[in-house]
Structure 1
Amino acid sequence: MSPQSGQGSGGARRRPRGVIVIALLLASGALMTGAVALAPAATLAAFGLPRSLLIVSALLTAVLAYGLVRLRRWAWAAMLSFVAINACFLLARALLSGVVPVGGLALLLAVGTYLLLPGVRAAFWGAHWCVPPSAPANEEEA
């Protein structure tokens, strides 16, 4: 997951490729959800999905993808929240149905872990937030 140059000049933050991949997956999910929202009302009723919920979900997912590509701090925090909430729902569903969605949980764990890597955090928050300050060299040891 090597970083690539971000937009802008000199001091521009670097955009990790993994963030772009996550944003593309979110954008494709938003497009698919939006396409489903255009289905006939009878089809949506068969699945119990209100059209308004699908439209709002598609819009929020698209905004989240955009925020990740632009390296917005709120998008980083929202994506971690999205991962945590979805993991809770998958675990609850596993307890109720007895079927553990290993693939979904593994993907959520990978995305959450990736977003917490120091280089990825630094892309969103800046290096000063992610790297602990080093101890002064002239301190005496106890």
Structure 2
Amino acid sequence: MTVEKNWQEILTPDEYAVLREGGTETPWTGELIEEKRQGKYRCRACDAVLFASDTKFDSHCGWPSFYAPLAKDTVKYLEDNSLGERPRVEVRCANCDSHLGHVFHGEGYETPTDDRFCINSICMTFDEE
């Protein structure tokens, strides 16, 4: 049995499409967009802690947004040329290599980093503190 077959047994088809195939959920449909409680956001595939609620902010883009990961080594970055224009930066879980979303810099948000980690809700679970 291949590793990808294992992921297909663990994840729903929608989760698999985003986490393992690099898809994107439809904006404004994710369950964590309006989440305001204190807690941690974990990778839905491997349960690694990725983001903390104190770095989440309202960017009004249709997906949960964070200005920084929990720690620098919790995510990894890949250049994404899939749209054929200026490269984007893909964000992946450093533990299991699942696609999470993208990070954008310099958009003018009043956050400590001026970064927007635009993360698919379907890629995460939430643990309230």
* Greater C-alpha radius of gyration: 1
Query: In proportion to residue count, which structure has more strand?
Result: 2
* Both structures adopt the same fold (TM-score exceeding 0.5): no
Q: Tell me which of the two structures has the higher relative contact order, counting C-alpha pairs closer than 8 angstroms and 6 or more residues apart.
A: 2
Q: What range is the shorter-chain TM-score in?
A: under 0.3
Higher helix residue share = 1
